[in-house]
Chains A and B, each alone.
Chain A
Amino acid sequence: MTEINRRDLLRGSAAAGALALAGLPIEALAAGVQQLVVQSGALNSLDPAHQISAGDEGRVAILVSNALLRYAAGDKFDLVPDLATGYEVGDGGKTYTFKLRQDVQWHGGFGKFTARDVKWSIERILDPATKSRNAGQFKDVAGVDIVDDHTVRFRLKEPSAVFPHAVATFRGGFMMCEAAAKAQGADYGKMVIGTGPFMLEKAVLDQEIVLKRNDAYFGDKPKLEKITFRVIRESSTASLAFERGQLDLIDVNDREQTDRYAKDPKSTLMISSVTTGLYLLTFNTAKAPFDKKEVRQAFQHALNKKAIVDAVYAQRGRVVDSVVPPGVEGYTEVKSYPYNPELAKKMLADAGVKDLKCSLTVPTSYQREAVMIQAQLKQVGITLDIKLIDRPTWFRALGQSEHDIIWNAHFRAPAADAFLYPSYHSSNQPPKGTNCAFYAGVDELIDKARVTFDEKARTDLYAQALRRIAEDSPAIPLTLELNTYVTRKSVKDINVYRVPENAPVLERAYIEK
């Protein structure tokens, strides 16, 4: 099997090379073969137990692998069946029994997908010897039982209404093939065997991943025959390669590129309407004067979020007021604080705060936003000192208490609990977690929602929590960073909404001749 494929691949790449040398776009080649060449960032591992970057590894993983559940495409992140056809909740929310599809085959002739694979996948992630970074996702799991070949039961330590999100398409949720892992041994992460619409043909992690269509896929057959992911870290290089026809789809990361491609008649700019990536400013409410609600609310009025988003993100941003993004289960519209510097000044004065000097801890990549915030706060008499740090240092700072105000980014699974529990529940205050607002106002609501199995009642609880957080303002939500990609006009049907991988979904894409 590999012999023929390798030869085909060599032939294909030789042709691609020759065409590239002749200055012909890959598109011309694709007229015969339905294939795309896509930019990718650094790829560390394709093994679901070790995947780190949701955007880069996730975009390959969602084509190769499936989870028990997935998130529907569209503007709302509803959980829908994937490898499971459905589930039943039992024992007061302590057991989840999933019925599995019976028509699912592993890639590469590794046989049928069964309940055994589910048990093995979860236990492998939880096994300390695996050292999986995704183990935390299943920390509430007490055990996985095989009921029969196509039925699997999860036993939980505590009742949980939000558990289904753990087995959805997100990092550790992707199922792994026991037979393949045993056959491949240490090489498992290099050549992952999945059940998805595409399978790995070639994987050189630092360079490229080549996927080919899986004709035995249980869902709708993809139209593309081949997808190549090329690792290009530098966005200017990717942009030149795209414009020269050597790449068919690239990420767009800044405003200038967005504006340029929006006007380009040969390209299609794709911007998602929602995303689960939310930026906010978090106050340290354990420190004066941020312990006063009125001071935090004054900051809300002092900031012109729209001006910041227009300047830095333009079409790629969407101003938000709620600490859970729109479209996520439990989202509700909350009170917004109109930009009103005069009111902000008055509120600060009423709170007895004069000539306030404070600092904003922010990673270097958000310097532009920080400078605008600094200028806006100056208008109401606040002197903001910007403390720029690198990403790993910032990660650490989020779990500490030294900051006054800290730039925060929440890239979470699309569930209200995933946004609220780690960041606003008092049990997660540093040093135990990343509730670096040191907020404790909605514990009861979060706890109750976690064990409320009636969907409407749970949504109501989240709505109450979101309204209370908006009122208390332990954090100021600023913007969503919308997923943005550009492709050729001839490439159709790319879904940019699928989350939480924040990746373009190429499952149904095709090239119009």
Chain B
Amino acid sequence: MGILIRFLSQALPTLLGAVTILFLLLRMIPGDPAQAMLGADATAADLARLRQDLGLDQPLWVQYGVFLRSFVVGDWGNSIVTKTPALERVLEALPSTLMLCVAAIVLIIAISLPAGVVSAVRRDSWVDYGVSLVVFLLMSMPQFWLGLLLLLVLSYWLDWFPIFGAGEAGDLLSQLHHLVLPSLTLAAGFLGLVTRLTRSSMLEVLGRDYVRTARAKGLREPVVIVKHALRNALLSVVTVIGLTMGQLLGGAVIVEVVFARPGVGTMIWDAILQRDYPQVQAGVAVFAALFIATNFLTDLLYGLLNPRIRV
């Protein structure tokens, strides 16, 4: 209960702050939904009518008041473009995006932790240099380009993976098959970060007294590394992986567009281009809520892993 109150007391103001900034930012960029919808040839009369329909003719503070009130009561409005409830559309598209981000996290953990540990244990060996080279390469490739490269090599030439879509509904195998390349693309930028971080914290921990003690006790090297060193080294790594989740949500936009996957990313993309304010607001607010929640979970997990800060 205490945890929940603490979470809500932090999360709600943050979320409100985030949507307020978003509300203002959206209205600061030039062009408005009426113009984006009616296109280049809109007459002033048509524009004025549509702006009135959309409430855009009201002063900004009135619009903000209306927005805030309906936001708090959970009525996030209809998409201006599709006329369907904005939040409903986000929630429909969310599972696909979450699946993509979770798959990316799994890949990051499965690849970066072992790679980081091996680089630290074999410090300054060719393995260490090899791992560094690969992770730097992955880190420095733009997601967009890497996605297309993977498509070209693994889907087009080798025909191992499908080129577009998210797989057949209800067929998990097909969905996983469609998930491999997008999640790899999304994960790539973070593989380097997490690998480097694992390596450096492992190096730090490996030099500590308790590791020396463990070795002196005659424990086998794998036990020393996994049980004594890695567990302690993971503390900072867990924090970074938790924060990564938020960035992955942002990265999903490009990945979803390249791989033609449905999701909140592509929805936000289209909504921004069409200045569909309610849809952008709903999409970003859900992302912000997820971001806040994962941060909070990261804090909790950190407490569990590190008895020293447990409250």
Residues in chain A within 8 A of chain B (CB atoms):
13-14, 17, 20-21, 23, 42, 44-45, 47, 50, 52, 128, 131, 133, 135-136, 186, 189, 204-207, 230-234, 236-238, 240-241, 243-244, 246, 389-396, 398-399, 408-412, 422-423, 428, 430-434
Contacts and interface: CB of A to CB of B under 8 A. Distances in A.
Contact of B165 (A205, A230, A409, A431): A230
B50 A422 contact: no
Given A17-B174, A432-B44, A240 B156 contact: yes
Contacts of B267: 206
B270 interface: yes
Contact of B152 (A240, A391, A409, A431): A240
A244 B159 contact: yes
Given A207-B165, A393-B31, A45 B43 contact: no
A395 B31 contact: yes
Interface string B42-61: 11111101100100000000
Given A45-B83, A206-B93, A17 B168 contact: yes
Counting contact residues on chain B (CB < 8 A from A), the size range is 35 or more
Interface of B: 29-32, 35-47, 49-50, 53, 81-84, 93, 148, 151-152, 155-156, 159, 162-166, 168, 171, 174, 177, 257-260, 262, 266-267, 269-270, 273-275
A88 to B, nearest CB: 30
Contact of A244 (B38, B155, B174, B275): B155
B156 A409 contact: no
A418 to B, nearest CB: 9
A20 B35 contact: no
A42 B83 CA distance: 15
B182 to A, nearest CB: 11
B42 to A, nearest CB: 7
Contact of B43 (A17, A393, A408, A422): A422
A233 B257 contact: yes
A206 B91 CA distance: 13
Contacts of B165: 207, 230
Contacts of A408: 40
B159 A237 contact: no
Given A50-B83, A133-B50, A237 B41 contact: no
A131 B40 CA distance: 19
Given A391-B273, A392-B30, A234 B41 contact: no
Nearest to B46: A136
B44 A431 contact: yes
Given A398-B40, A434-B41, A392 B273 contact: yes
Contact of A133 (B37, B148, B151, B166): B37
Contacts of B273: 391-392
A230 to B, nearest CB: 7
12 contacts: A42-B270, A44-B82, A50-B82, A52-B37, A189-B82, A205-B82, A232-B260, A237-B259, A238-B260, A392-B32, A399-B35, A431-B44
